[in-house]
């Protein structure tokens, strides 16, 4: 039987596009998409799909065994802003799902895992500019605490049980195909929809707050690249810093105004402002560049152009 890939959380913002890319690379039938809920018809009809709750160990193990899964991308999680509303549920989901998949690899059901961490592992006393790979980590959100603990578990399972788990600290991921799932950087997606539909946007992040961001194409490329890299080149077994660009809401608005001259923005920071202020403004990703050749392709100008075109197309098809 051919070795197969399982994407858990395949209907999410990143999972949808990651599944698509993996199916392009490996063939539709080699990639099983799975989520607690059904996804967009485009995703469900393009290859095998299993509805499953990652918290149900037996159900997930059965999928792994039945499909001869050897590689798992664990994308299911509760994101930063939503997690602050449900701290214990977030901790439960984010930790149990990871430990369960790590144990499947320890027991040699699967051979390779991708699990995303986040810039949320950093906190208020972390150096804000050009944040190094190894530095102070004092996350102040339950999401960040769960990602930091997750990183330690990944490193531990690699060290003690030779589990091949690979991880990236994603910055805010910007895309138009699937709605973002309740993160602090979601403003940078909403702004494009509001700009195209209404010509104006009220940002919940203040105008001069700079955060690390990345266009979806680059996030998918990084994910595929780290998973395809030879085992020996993956020297960081907690999670790699990953960067492409940093911008403030004001800078992004200026960029949109180059395409939509009448676009206006105002600012009403809410509870997410405090989360944003606890995170780095920019990230040093030298280790990823040196170890497995990471290099982003998209800057803010390409991101704005791609988002405006994509959002217009999406609204014309009324799929969003």
- Vertex 39: Cα angle to 33 and 44 (nearest 5): 55
Give least dist CB 199 to ligand NAD, A: 25
Structure tokens at 23: 């199916």
Binding site for ligand NAD (CB under 6 A): 8-9, 11-15, 35-37, 53-55, 75-77, 79, 93, 116, 118, 170, 172-173, 180-181, 183, 185
% helix / strand / coil in the chain, to the nearest 5? Answer: 50, 15, 35
What does the alpha-carbon distance between residue 147 and residue 132 come to, in Å, rounded to a whole number? 17
DSSP run (H or E) holding 91: helix 87-106
In the residue annotation, 143 being an active-site residue is answered as yes
- On whether the CB atoms of residues 204 and 102 are closer than 8 A, the answer is no
Give least dist CB 114 to ligand NAD, A: 10
Give least dist CB 233 to ligand NAD, A: 22
Among residues 6 and 265, whose Cβ is nearest to ligand NAD? 6
DSSP run (H or E) holding 8: strand 4-8
Among residues 37 and 160, whose Cβ is nearest to ligand NAD? 37
Choose the catalytic residue: 143, 157, 201, 298: 143
Give least dist CB 254 to ligand NAD, A: 22
Among residues 99 and 108, whose Cβ is nearest to ligand NAD? 99
- Which distant-in-sequence residues (6+ apart) come within 8 Å of 228 by Cβ? none
Among residues 58 and 200, whose Cβ is nearest to ligand NAD? 58
Query: Would you please indicate which residues are annotated as catalytic (active-site) residues?
Result: 143
């Amino acid at each position: 039987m051919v070795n197969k890939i399982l994407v858990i959380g395949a209907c999410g913002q990143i999972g949808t596009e990651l599944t698509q890319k993996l199916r392009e690379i490996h063939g539709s039938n080699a990639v099983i998409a799975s989520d607690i809920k059904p996804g967009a018809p485009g995703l469900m009809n393009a290859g095998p799909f299993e509805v499953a709750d990652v918290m149900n160990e037996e159900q997930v193990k059965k999928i792994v065994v039945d499909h001869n899964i050897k590689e798992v991308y664990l994308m299911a999680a509760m994101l930063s802003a939503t997690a602050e509303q449900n701290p214990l549920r977030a901790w439960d989901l984010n930790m149990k799902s990871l430990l369960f998949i790590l144990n499947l690899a320890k027991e040699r059901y699967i051979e390779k895992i991708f699990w995303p961490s986040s810039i949320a592992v950093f906190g208020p006393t972390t150096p804000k500019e050009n944040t190094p790979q190894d530095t102070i980590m004092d996350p102040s959100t339950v999401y960040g605490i769960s990602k930091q603990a997750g990183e330690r578990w990944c490193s531990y399972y690699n060290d003690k049980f030779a589990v091949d788990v690979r991880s990236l600290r994603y910055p805010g991921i910007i895309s138009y195909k699937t709605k973002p799932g309740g993160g602090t950087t979601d403003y940078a997606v909403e702004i494009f929809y509001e700009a195209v539909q209404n010509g104006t946007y009220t940002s919940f992040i203040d105008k001069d707050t700079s955060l690390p961001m990345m266009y979806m194409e680059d996030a998918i490329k990084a994910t595929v690249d780290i998973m395809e890299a030879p085992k020996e080149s993956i020297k960081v077994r907690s999670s790699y810093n990953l960067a492409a660009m940093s911008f403030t809401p004001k800078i992004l608005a200026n960029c949109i105004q180059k395409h939509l001259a009448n676009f206006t923005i105002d600012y009403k920071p809410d509870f997410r402002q405090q989360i944003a202020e606890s995170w780095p403004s920019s990230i040093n990703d030298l280790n990823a560049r040196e170890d497995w050749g990471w290099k982003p392709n998209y800057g803010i100008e390409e991101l704005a152009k791609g988002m405006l075109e994509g959002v217009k197309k999406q609204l014309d098809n009324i799929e969003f």
